Amino acid sequence: MNNRQYVILNADEVSTVNFDEVLETSVDTLRYNVAGDQTFVKYEGAKPRSLYGKDTLSHSAMLTVLAGEAWTQPMEEL
């Protein structure tokens, strides 16, 4: 997965994504943060035109972001 790049988007930017250029299946399968105001897409190879101007993250950097409480509900303590 080291050849994948990830781009975090605001929820209202989703309509600008060309899903033929990213690895996400469709707008309906996107994962959102806990607040529901951000999502992300990933790609391999050249940066899709629809993502020009957006910051990219590596696979490991994206996993670090997703592990935070902004993206993942904390597990209940036993």
Partner 1 sequence: MSDITVINDSEQSSLVTNGLAKNGELYLKAAGSTDAGAIVVYDSGSWRTFANEAGLPSITNTYSVDFDGTNDYMDFGTNTFINSSSAFSVSAWFDVDNITTTYPTICTLKTNLTKGFVISLSSLQAGYNGVWFGSSHNELRGFSTGNSTLATLISSGWHHLVLTYDGVDPLVSSSFTVYVDGVNYAIGSSAVGLGNYASVNYVGKGAYQFEGLIDEFAFFNTELSSTDVTAIYNSGTPTDLSSYSPVGWWRMGDNDSGTGTTVTDQGSGGNDGTLTNGPTFSTTVPS
Site residues (CB under 8 A) for partner 1? 1, 4, 6, 23-25, 29-31, 40, 42, 59, 62-63, 66-67, 72-73, 75-78
Tell me which residue of 53, 76, 63 sits closest to 6, measured CA to CA: 63
Q: How far is the CB of 6 from partner 1 (least distance, A)?
A: 7
Q: How far is the CB of 12 from partner 1 (least distance, A)?
A: 19
Residue whose pair of structure tokens reads 């490991």 in the numeric block: 60
Residue with smaller CB distance to partner 1, 1 or 70: 1
Sign of CA dihedral 17, 18, 22, 25: positive
Residue with smaller CB distance to partner 1, 30 or 52: 30
Cα-to-chain-centroid distance, residue 76: 25
